[in-house]
A = this chain, B = another copy of it.
Amino acid sequence: MATPEFTARTLRRLLASGVTTRAERLLAKMPPADVAPLLSDLTPEETRSIIELLFRQRRAALVLRELPHELLPNVFDAVSDQRIADVIGRLEIDDLIDLAESIPEDRREEVLGRLPVHRREELLKAELYPESSAGRVMTTSFVALDEKMSCQEAIDSIRSMGDDNEAILYLYVVDDQRSLRGVVPIRRLVAAPPERQVGEIMIASPVCVRAEADQEEVADVVRRYDLLAVPVVDVDNRMLGVITVDDIIDVITEEATEDIYNLAGLSEEDRVFSPAPTSIRKRLPWMLINLLTCFLAAWVVGLFERSIQQMVALAVFLPVVGGMAGNGGTQSLTVITRGIALGELEFSSGFRALRKELAVGLAIGAITGLVSAGIALAWQAEPVVGLALFLAMVVSMTVSGMMGAAVPLILKSLRLDPALGSGVIVTTFTDVFAFFAFLGIATLLLDRIASG
């Protein structure tokens, strides 16, 4: 298979030499997901030509859908308002709303004004649902059946719709009020005797989600019950739309990225391909907060300047207590936040998890504390340092294990995102506590020796 760089070069050469028919044929053979990466590497002129070619093939919309949001502005810059409206007007409503948000502020109104009226209305309606809710992710095209229909009639109604509707995996049985009564998997419809009524073969009171539900909740439902699509209903159980599993995969991927990013204090829009100024702007606030917390740790060390003056070896071991407590806290934090995200606490409980992380911290603190004290004694021959190191590591790793578990559990019980900010809180606390424990214990011991 040709590499993307190779294909991009070929395409560029074909466009430059004006051989658009060959470029067109090359593009026609490629799936949209393979065309998208090419667009990140072209000049505005080339981008414009490719969008035109794709538009003629009615595939421009599908390609744009595959492009990371961060790269859409570049593409839009190269294309006219009318063209953007033509392209995105062909998308399902969930993709339309998504792309509409990526149009630069100053052109958005103009572009959306050029959409057909019914699409504009659809968009306005969808935007009423809260950000990241089921209502924003659902598609509104689905097949609704009447309970009394025969299976053959149902099949005929699908036939009469043609092949356009890709979302037909389940058919939905509704009553006169469009209230959801049941679900018929298409494979079950096909397997059933043609004269059977759909009401007899449907799955009654099926799993469904409310339009206001958070997309993460929807993903949990789909993952838990192994669904291919989930119906979305309003407060009166009226059928509004369907969320399919491919959108759920995107949600799951997005949520996992959010969790990983939150632990490192990153914002979601900060990606590999984001320009450096964007990344700097996104990371700077968190780095400044982090700087403050580092100074808090520095201040704690400063409290003990006299002891360090007296015994410089104490400074040498600061990286050991700080590094170990920080890592212990991060490990317990990671296990708990991931456990919360995956619903693993169903198989345990917050209290049990907390108790366990505390025990693990204590055990690892005792073992690594002993090893550290041994190395410290052999290296520096200072019993005070060795003893302080051992005691500080036991105490601080126990506390950091507990903190790593407690912070996300508390955030969760306050209905906040358990991963958000946990990293900062835990590492600050563990550093400050570990330095305080180590230098404090050492100072007490030194004072005791001095007074004894």
B224 A335 Cβ-Cβ under 8 A: no
Residue on B nearest A219 in the bound complex, by CB: B249
A272 near B: Cβ within 8 Å? yes
Q: Are B249 and A291 in contact (CB under 8 A)?
A: no
Query: Which chain B residues lie closer than 8 Å to A363 at the CB level?
Result: 276, 280
Asked if A445 is at the interface (CB within 8 A of a chain B CB), the reply is no
Q: Decide: A339 near B271, CB < 8 A? Known: A162-B191, A319-B322.
A: yes
Pair A186/B186 contact, Cβ less than 8 Å: yes
Contact call A347/B287, Cβ cutoff below 8 A: no
A19 at the interface (CB under 8 A from B): no
Residues of B contacting A335 with CB < 8 Å? Answer: 266, 270-272, 279
Q: How far apart sit A405 and B249, CA to CA, in the bound complex (Å)?
A: 27
Contact B318 A318, beta carbon cutoff 8 Å: yes
Which residues on the B side are within 8 Å of A327 (C-beta)? 264-265, 287, 290
Q: Given A191-B159, A223-B253, is A288 in contact with B320 using a C-beta cutoff of 8 Å?
A: no
Partner of A33 from the list B224, B294, B359 (CB cut-off 8 Å) is B224
Q: What mask results when residues 312 to 335 of chain A are scored 1 for a CB within 8 Å of chain B, else 0?
A: 111111111011100110110111
Question: Which B residue's beta carbon lies closest to that of A257?
Answer: B338
6 closest pairs, A vs B, by CB?
A: A272-B339, A256-B256, A315-B315, A297-B319, A294-B323, A226-B246
Interchain residue pairs with CB less than 8 A apart (13)? A159-B191, A163-B192, A259-B260, A263-B334, A264-B330, A266-B334, A272-B336, A273-B348, A284-B364, A301-B315, A305-B316, A309-B309, A315-B315
